[in-house]
Structure 1
């Protein structure tokens, strides 16, 4: 286990991740913790600094987007970054047992699932279980200025972050105790930039909210 890692607060981790995204944008990635020493150091356990719930879309790789490495992020991926009991259980494990102080829900532009629902495509099989939360986000953003589906992706990320933050008993209690910070963000496939959506959370330096 990487025992040399400094214990950080959720806000400090958020700043670290946005600093990594800035390196990603500038083409100056450091690719930390990719060496053999890092790999061997993780065989005894893990201490991920953050949980990132994001879409299963192959174009949205959190470790690369935030310029992190092995053992840095506890990544949970599912189409539409939509939560269920299994997803919540995974997140609970990361914050309660691995002591990750930050939970980030990251939506993204050009989401295929959201686009399909917005066009009235009938999803078949288990994919259909994604429809209700996506449809709700689309209805809440109908008529807003800008791209409807991208606005819905932001709304969906915010909605999932709120549900996680309020999830009892584990996460809600840790949030109330100040042990865990839950935020929603948005990744733009065109620019590579991650923006902060959550209100009331201090944006990292030189970065602004995109609610």
Structure 2
């Protein structure tokens, strides 16, 4: 089934969020439509792309964006890092999608049982650092986790939520281009928390929509 976005009718941030969450609802209900995954869409997308959302999520293998949001070719501009940590390459990729492709929505996707969050909490509790470049991931996650570390011992989900909020805020704070688009109402940033067992992505923060 092909469901192209009409380039003559730009999608608003609110429209994009509705599309994204509707796809997740279908996934949760087991009623996926597999839109934009046919030969016609493949041919149309070969000449250009018009994604309606940036999906910046954790690299966890259980968070395949097009599957859990029931989308297809050309729908989502996907960027993933362990623990959805933000670096220059991530910001540059998001800015490209916003500036060059006019994407109206940036969705940060975190999840329960996140290995990066768990490693960070362990590092804080034990006073140790992980080896190699894993340390860099933990250090970036730690900034958002430290303020809630005492409560997160009993409720790791709190650390997940705080890190999602921190990531969404950081994208706007560090990118003048994105901040300006949000101020103009042309783009929005949302944070979503995904439950692995249920498959549900829930809003935890919304900026500009």
Q: TM-score, normalised by structure 2?
A: 0.89
Match of residue 113 from structure 1: 116
Match of residue 208 from structure 1: none
The Cα of 1:138 is off from its aligned counterpart by 2.4
Q: Which has the higher helix share?
A: 2
1:56-205 correspondence to structure 2 within 5 Å: 56-120=59-123, 122-144=129-151, 148-198=155-205
2:26 is the counterpart of 1:23: yes
The Cα of 1:97 is off from its aligned counterpart by 0.3
Q: Which deviates more from structure 2 when the two are superposed, residues 175-184 or residues 113-122?
A: 113-122
Paired residues of 1:13 and 1:50 also in contact (CA < 8 A): yes
Structure 1: stretches of 5+ with no match in the other structure: 203-211
Structure 2: stretches of 5+ with no match in the other structure: none
The Cα of 1:145 is off from its aligned counterpart by 7.5
Paired residues of 1:138 and 1:148 also in contact (CA < 8 A): no
2:42 is the counterpart of 1:39: yes
Q: TM-score, normalised by structure 1?
A: 0.88
Paired residues of 2:189 and 2:206 also in contact (CA < 8 A): no
SS at 1:142's partner residue? helix
The Cα of 1:153 is off from its aligned counterpart by 1.4
RMSD, matched Cα: 1.9
Matched length: 201
